């Protein structure tokens, strides 16, 4: 099983949006610069995320995107599912035709693993990730690296660290 670039970038972009959303709509250009993801690729991803009601677009000057609901209510599995990313670990796409049209010996093992991965990601919200000290440290580093945003830091007043020191 491999989570491809599409799923990884979608989760990364959504987490960036969640971290910076308290400052107003976030432009894809800003996400692109911070996360080093192609702007055209982000546009494709956000089109799908918008269709799945995970983000809303804000038009006009100062426009961009914002989460459609609170970060604690947006789960990583939803983001991955929205960009049509498969978390399937079977060779057959979970169709059961992996060995000459029939299930292979380990089909159920890999199918169960796929379900557990999806369940695991269904239990983690963007809000959970935002509260991790390590993630805030990376976000602060990215903000300092971004031209014109040297003084920008993530607002941590509403975030509490729930990870051990």
With beta carbons less than 8 A apart as the criterion, state whether 24 and 18 touch. no
Domains in the chain, number: 1
What CATH number is given to the structural domain containing 89? 1.10.10.10
Q: Which residues lie closer than 8 Å to 121 by C-beta, 6 or more apart? A: 75, 76, 77, 80, 87
β partners of residue 67 = 55
| Position 157 in a domain | no
| Position 108 in a domain | yes
Share above pLDDT 70 across residues of the chain, in percent, rounded to a whole number: 86
| Position 150 in a domain | no
pLDDT band at 150 (very low <50, low <70, confident <90, very high): very low
Q: How many CA atoms lie within 13 A of 41 on its CB side?
A: 15
How confident is the model at residue 110, as a pLDDT? 87
How confident is the model at residue 23, as a pLDDT? 86
Render pLDDT for 32-82 as a digit per residue (tens, 0 to 9): 999 999 999 999 999 999 999 999 999 988 889 999 999 999 999 999 999
| Position 163 in a domain | no
| Position 165 in a domain | no
* Radius of gyration of the chain measured on its C-alpha atoms: 18
With beta carbons less than 8 A apart as the criterion, state whether 67 and 18 touch. yes
With beta carbons less than 8 A apart as the criterion, state whether 37 and 12 touch. yes
How confident is the model at residue 138, as a pLDDT? 93
| Position 71 in a domain | yes
For residues 5 and 25, what is the distance between their CA atoms, to the nearest angstrom?
A: 24
Mean pLDDT of all residues in 120-125:
96
For residues 13 and 45, what is the distance between their CA atoms, to the nearest angstrom?
A: 9
Domain with 41, as residue range(s), is 5-145
11, 14, 30, 46, 136 from 80: Cα distances, Å? 7, 10, 21, 12, 22
Task: Using alpha carbons, select from 49, 51, 48, 29 the residue that is nearest to residue 40.
Answer: 29
For residues 148 and 94, what is the distance between their CA atoms, to the nearest angstrom?
A: 48
């Amino acid at each position: 099983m491999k989570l491809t670039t599409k799923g990884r970038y979608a989760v990364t972009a959504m987490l960036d949006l969640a971290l910076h959303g308290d400052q107003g709509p976030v432009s894809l250009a800003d996400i692109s610069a911070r996360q080093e993801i192609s702007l055209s690729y982000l546009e494709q991803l956000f089109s799908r995320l918008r269709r799945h009601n995970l983000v809303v677009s804000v038009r006009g000057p100062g426009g961009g995107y914002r989460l459609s609901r609170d970060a604690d209510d947006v789960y990583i599995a939803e983001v991955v599912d929205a960009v049509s990313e498969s978390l399937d670990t079977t060779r057959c796409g979970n169709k059961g035709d992996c060995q000459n049209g029939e299930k292979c010996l380990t089909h159920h093992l890999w199918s169960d693993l796929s379900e557990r991965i999806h369940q695991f990601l269904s239990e983690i919200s963007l809000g959970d990730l935002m509260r991790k000290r390590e993630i805030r440290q990376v976000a602060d580093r990215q903000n300092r690296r971004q031209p014109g945003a040297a003084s920008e830091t993530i607002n941590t007043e509403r975030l509490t660290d729930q990870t051990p020191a």
